[in-house]
Chains A and B, each alone.
Chain A
Amino acid sequence: MMAIREQFSKTKNFNLISLGLMGVGLLSIIILFITHGASGDHRMQARFWASLLQNSVYFLLVTNAAMFFIAATTLAWGGWQVSFRRVSEAISSCVPVLSITTGIILLAIVLSDNHTIYHWTDTEHVKHDKILLHKAGFLNKGFFIVWTIITLVGWNLLGAKLRQLSRKIDDRPLDNAGAKKYIWDNTVWAAIFIVFFSLTVMSSIPWLWLMSIDAHWYSTMYSWYTFASSFVAGIALITIFVIYLKNLGYLEFTNEEHLHDLGKFMFAFSVFWTYLWFSQFMLIWYANIPEETTYFEPRVEGAWNGIFWLTVIINFLAPLLILMSRGAKRNYGTLTFMCILILFGHWMDFYQMVFPGPMKDPETSVSHVPMMLADLGIGLGFVGLIMFFTARALANAPLIAKNHPFLKESLIHHT
């Protein structure tokens, strides 16, 4: 085996940028708190908490999707991702800190006496609300809190287990029997992760955390759609880190063949996201039942119109047309641009999922778009946080899982 640089070390600039971005985030939180959060008005406060909710949930789901990528490829007995799997493991090691942040924010919103975001938490109101009364078995504080905590703890424990399995063989080459057992162990734990993941991200969690903002409305497709968003953004995040490390001269075994496949993932799951987005939209548009159209009313016909269609352009048309050709998927520049665009596009998508509800004027039922600067700032803060913790995790472990039984498959990978 040729000499490789196994050990990543953070550059000074990277540290400065990540700390700077975290500073921007903190400053945005403080400013938004002063202008909105500290106000006595419930709707002003809700605008502050909605921003924290949107950003923390989005970035938590995106980093957790990195571990889903590992679990899914492991379960499929894929070999091509082994040469850069440490990158997605490193991204997923942001999950603990982001889960704590998200957990605190969610609990604070649910337990407060401000019911603007989750109006099903208002027990007095629910008594007279027939629809919410029927949903009370699912939408109640007790279930929300218990299931949220179980979910966050589960993601962390299973993610830590899969990362630990990967690190375990770093200084211990495997013989044939050991390799078989290792693959089997990985497969079993990846399967457990995916079952838990599908019970949470792919079904109940987006219903609880995001869909219950518009508590009268429901869509069974919502969770799949949220998962598709977070997964394609997660792939974009992995790709961006792979390209960054390649530019620094690390990851010698990862080449444009692997990048090509990551590009295919981004392309395919952008289309998958659109498929779910459209299926949810078209059925509701066709049936035209007032109970269902309430969700799209502010988004398609109200003030959110521009943002709503912008997300379709960024998340569907741009990846479809730009990532379609083979050359684009093998080009560092194009891929970097598309990764940033997709991460931003799905951030916007989460934005229009969360905000129209809390921004609705209860008297006129008209929702308006807030000034997004502070939200973008908080988003950048989370980006800085992810950069910081991912780079720290990258520096903690060798960049290549060199004893992984499928490494050879990754080295000779060819699309």
Chain B
Amino acid sequence: MSVKKFIVTSFDDEEILFPAIRQVRKSGYKIHDVYTPFPIHGLDKAMGLRDTSLHTAGFVYAIMGTATALAFMTWIFTTDWPMNIGGKPHFALPAWIPITFELTVLFSAVGMVLTFCYLCQLAPFVKKDHFRLRSTDDLFVMAIECTTKTNEEQAIAFLAQLGGKDITVEMKETEWWLGRYDKDDRHTLIKTEPEIIH
């Protein structure tokens, strides 16, 4: 659990958002994340995010699937329970290719979905803090992480000048925790009015 201090602001439009991101990065502020109602091409580049490693993970899972399938079938048909099927050799590689292929795809697909959920901190019975709920509707929300060097007043004025609205300074939990959205009443979640510290 790590609670950090953020300056949060909303933008009405991605056409205001993109130049704002450029300016904010140029001025040296640390963007925690940007939340948008829909996926936007090029946002990752504008924010300077590195390419995801998800596909490397997918490749590793796929290799694991291939190895599992081949090793398991080899063990069964040559050692554990050899059978004579149509006079074919016990090590009947061509016949195993379809199953190997299926397991390769299955391992990589399931593995990638689970990894993706982990990276996005999504799981059943797990909760996360949200900055602005309207980022799931019509607002483009940017959260800037405050460091010891951040001058908050200056930052707020800067964001306002870039077209940011409802600029607030908030303490937020960045990690996920066990709990349920409909039962847990942790103060940060349901409130429509953000807690203003500054």
Q: Which residues of A contact B (CB under 8 A)?
A: 278, 281-282, 285-286, 288, 324-326, 414
Contact = CB atoms under 8 A, between A and B. Distances in A.
A281 B97 CA distance: 12
Interface in B72-87: 86-87
Contacts of A324: 59
B95 interface: yes
B86 A288 contact: yes
Contact of B94 (A281, A325, A326, A414): A281
Nearest to A288: B86
Contacts, number: 20
Given A282-B97, A286-B94, A286-B95, A326 B42 contact: no
Contacts of B98: 282
20 contacts: A278-B94, A278-B97, A281-B94, A282-B94, A282-B95, A282-B97, A282-B98, A285-B94, A286-B86, A286-B88, A286-B94, A286-B95, A288-B86, A288-B87, A324-B59, A325-B55, A326-B51, A326-B55, A414-B41, A414-B42
Most buried by B among A281, A286, A288, A326: A286
Contacts of A325: 55
What 9 pairs across the A-B complex have the smallest Cβ distances? A282-B94, A285-B94, A414-B41, A278-B97, A286-B95, A282-B97, A281-B94, A414-B42, A324-B59
A324 B87 CA distance: 38
A414 B55 CA distance: 19
Nearest to B62: A324
Nearest to A285: B94
A282 B94 CA distance: 6
A309 to B, nearest CB: 13
Contacts of B51: 326
B11 to A, nearest CB: 22
Contacts of A282: 94-95, 97-98
Given A324-B59, A326-B55, 14 more contacts: A281-B94, A282-B94, A282-B98, A285-B94, A286-B86, A286-B88, A286-B94, A286-B95, A288-B86, A288-B87, A325-B55, A326-B51, A414-B41, A414-B42
A288 B42 CA distance: 54
Interface in B42-89: 42, 51, 55, 59, 86-88
Contacts of B97: 278, 282
Contacts of B42: 414
Interface in B153-173: none
A25 B87 CA distance: 48
Contacts of B94: 278, 281-282, 285-286
A415 B97 CA distance: 32
Nearest to A279: B98
A324 B86 CA distance: 37
Contacts of A278: 94, 97
A401 to B, nearest CB: 24
Nearest to A324: B59
Contacts of A288: 86-87
A278 B95 CA distance: 11
A282 B97 CA distance: 9
Contacts of B55: 325-326
Interface in B25-43: 41-42
Most buried by A among B41, B51, B94: B94
Interface string B81-110: 000001110000011011000000000000
A111 B146 CA distance: 85
Nearest to A278: B97
Contacts of A286: 86, 88, 94-95
Nearest to A327: B51
Contacts of A281: 94
A347 B98 CA distance: 27
A72 B60 CA distance: 34
Contacts of B95: 282, 286
Interface string B131-152: 0000000000000000000000
A238 B4 CA distance: 53
A285 B42 CA distance: 49
Nearest to A284: B94
A281 B59 CA distance: 27
B1 to A, nearest CB: 35
B87 to A, nearest CB: 8
A285 B88 CA distance: 10
B39 to A, nearest CB: 12
A160 B46 CA distance: 44
Nearest to B98: A282
A289 B41 CA distance: 55
Nearest to A414: B41
A235 B94 CA distance: 29
A260 B56 CA distance: 18
Contacts of A326: 51, 55
Nearest to A321: B59
A311 B94 CA distance: 17
A77 B51 CA distance: 30
B41 to A, nearest CB: 5
A43 to B, nearest CB: 33
Contacts of B41: 414
